[in-house]
Amino acid sequence: MDQILLEVTVVKEEILNLIKNASDEIALKNVRETHLSKKSKFASLSRYFKDLNKEERAIFGEKINQAAKEIDLAFKNKHDELFFAAYQERLAKEKIDLSLPGINYQVGRLNPLRKVEDEILNIFVSMGYEVYEGPDIESDYYNFERMNIPSDHPAREMQDSFYFNPALLLRTHTSPAQARMMDAKKGEPFKVVCPGKCYRRDDDDATHSHQFMQIEGLVVGHHISLADLKGTLETFLKAIFGEKREIRLRGSYFPFTEPSVEVDISCAHCLGKGCSLCKDSGYIEILGAGMVHPNVLRMSGYDPQEYSGFAFGVGIDRVAMLKYGISDIRDLYQNDLRLFNNFYQER
Ligand code: PHE
């Protein structure tokens, strides 16, 4: 009997030793599988039961149970120990160095042209204007004829453009959208702003580009006067450039408006006193405008005796350049974020 009990202790110690020496979870699992299976040495100890009497069996059973409990506890402790060690190792390996420079994801921005366009449209929409975009590819008829610029008119030369054929071109201004809108409204009064790209065969330099953007404005109704035009443009320009700025109207000429005006805004730098920025004039030219020419109204089915209207065309590029202090129009078309981030430091 003593011999049998000793054997239990020996087998137990052997297993405890293996557990103790298991280097990782896989090794520990192997110990469990080989030394506690039905065919293991430990399991085979039960073969002695049949040779023992009742008392001896109780003692032997107790001994085996005790050994099993010890082995079980050893497994559990070893498992916890290995798990914790692996965890510590992973923590050490996965340590994040917060002082390392991170990956710099570039966040895009609206092109300043689009931002200014949105701002301008919002101002006019808040005054009850509709928004309409005419086509970039325009007919000679809408771009010139309907704007009171017949084929022999010298004003055509100023706006020489890119033609697809004698009747079709890239529009030189957003003004043809005026005629398209009047056609659509069929004699009803309305207020509209028409944004879009324009194209002219022009030198590309710091202030000229073969492609630029405009917003056309047109109001047609009863008793619309130059005072309405002035009040509207003053509201618009102050909203864009700030309350401190003054506007000034100068007589000008456009074939599709009569009278025509050039609208200036007081210089941001000297507020009208005169400085190098505004070439001592105190003012900077910002847009062209005027009362819709009776010929244009008539061609569009509006009786000039009954209806009048005003129109204006503002260069989005020009507004963006003044607003953000951009001196070269070409910068607006480069899409260089480093530049755009600077442009957003408003003056
Ligand atoms: N279409 C003119 C231009 O491109 C601007 C303008 C629009 C002038 C409407 C008067 C009225 O220069």
Confidence of residue 347 (pLDDT cuts 50, 70, 90): very low
Q: What is the pLDDT of residues 157-202, one digit of tens each?
A: 777 789 999 999 999 999 999 999 999 999 999 999 999 999 998 8
Q: Ligand 1, atom 10: nearest CA belongs to which residue? A: 289
More confident residue, 302 or 276: 302
CA 261 to ligand 1 centroid distance, Å: 10
Does 255 sit behind a cis peptide bond, omega within 30 degrees of 0 on the bond before it? no
The finding on whether 173 has its CB within 6 A of some atom of ligand 1 is yes
Nearest CA to ligand 1 atom 5: 313
> For ligand 1, is residue 311 a contact (CB within 6 Å)?
yes
Give me the long-range contacts of 267-270 (CB less than 8 A, separation at least 24): 268/241, 268/322, 268/347
Our answer on whether the CB atom of 312 is closer than 6 Å to any ligand 1 atom is yes
Q: What is the pLDDT of residue 345?
A: 55
**Residue 40: how many other CB atoms lie within 10 Å:** 15
222, two tokens: 């009863």
Query: How many angstroms is it from 110 CA to the middle of ligand 1?
Result: 26
CB count within 10 Å of CB 318 equals 19
* Strands of the chain, DSSP E: 130-131, 137-139, 163-165, 168-170, 190-199, 211-221, 247-254, 257-266, 283-292, 308-315
Q: Which residue has the tokens 């032997």?
A: 60
For residue 288, the ligand 1 atom closest to its alpha carbon is 8
Q: Is 310 in the pocket of ligand 1 (CB under 6 A)?
A: no
Q: Which atom of ligand 1 is nearest to the CA of 147?
A: 1
